[in-house]
Amino acid sequence: MENLIRIDNLHKSFYDGDAELKVLKGVNLDIHKSEILTIMGASGVGKSTLLHLIGTLDRPTDGNIFYEDQDITAFSDIELARFRNDAIGFVFQFHQLLPEFTALENVAMARIIRQSKKNKTDNETTLDRKDAYETAEHLLDSVGLSERLSHFPSQLSGGERQRVAIARALINQPKVVLADEPTGNIDDKTSEAVLDVLNDVNERLNQTFIIVTHDSRISERAKRTVHIVDGRIAE
C-alpha cells in the first residue's frame, strides 16, 4: 500500500515553567493513501495533540512528519501555512461554520479564499467564484444537503452542520482530511449518517481520512484502528 504520511519517532511535550509534560513519546505511524485511519485512546492521552501536529497547527518537540517524502517539520511558518491550505482539510467536533453565512457560502468560501491569493483579473475572479459555488453545490449535494444550500448554521441540525463541515474540508481537494471527534456532540443515529458520508467520500473520491475518536462505533466500522497508549502507538 502506498504511503501518504510517515510519522517518525514523534515527541511532543508541553512546558509549564520548568515542569515538562511528556504527551507523545516516540510515535511511529504510517498513513496509507485512500485509507480511513481511526486513532483511539483514553481522554488526555494525546490524540488531539497528534492530530494538530499532523495538521501542521503545532510543531513537534522532536521527530519528523513526512508527506510523500517531504519533511514538513523542516518547513518555515509561511511554507507550513501554504502547505496546510493546499493539502489538509479539517473537521472538528464543535463545527466552526461561520454563523452569518449560508451552508453554500461556508463551503464555497474556503475555495474563494484560496483562489484570491493569486494575482487575478476581474474576469478570472468572476469565473473562480462561479467555479467555487458550483463545486460547493456539488459537494453539498454529495453529502445529502442539496435542499439546505441557503440555510444558515443555526437553521441546521448537528449532523447537517457536520456534513457541511465535511463538504468544506473537501473543497480544495486536500491530500488528507483530519477529523477530531466528528461525531462527538451528535446522537447515535445522526452519527451513523455522518459516518456513512465519510465512508462514501472515501470510496468515491479515494479521500484519505484520519479520524480521532473515543467512539468505538466509529472504529468498528473503520478498516484500520490504532490506539495511543502512554504516548506511543499500540496497533
Give least dist CB 184 to Mg ion, A. 9
Backbone region of residue 194 per phi and psi (left: phi > 0; alpha: psi in -120 to 50; beta: other values): alpha
Select the residue whose beta carbon is closest to Mg ion and give its number.
Answer: 48
The phi and psi torsions of 222 (rounded to 5 degrees) equal -75, 155
Tell whether residue 49 is a contact of Mg ion (CB under 5 A). no
Tell whether residue 23 is a contact of ligand ATP (CB under 6 A). yes
d(CA 185, CA 206): 27
- Residue closer to ligand ATP (CB basis): 21 or 234: 21
d(CA 65, CA 57): 13
DSSP SS3 for 3:
strand
Q: Which residue has the cell 465512508?
A: 199
Q: Contact, 106 vs 164, CB < 8 A?
A: yes
Give least dist CB 23 to ligand ATP, A. 4
Give least dist CB 163 to ligand ATP, A. 22
Tell whether residue 99 is a contact of ligand ATP (CB under 6 A). no
- Residue closer to Mg ion (CB basis): 51 or 139: 51
**Listed residue (162, 186, 35) closest to 92, CA to CA:** 162
- Number of Cβ atoms within 10 Å of the Cβ of 32: 15
The residue range among 43-51, 65-73, 149-157, 183-191 that interacts with Mg ion, by the rule CB under 5 A, is 43-51
Give least dist CB 69 to ligand ATP, A. 27
Tell whether residue 156 is a contact of ligand ATP (CB under 6 A). no
Q: Which residues bind ligand ATP (CB under 6 A)?
A: 14, 21, 23, 41, 43-49, 214
Can you give the binding site for Mg ion, defined by CB under 5 A? 48
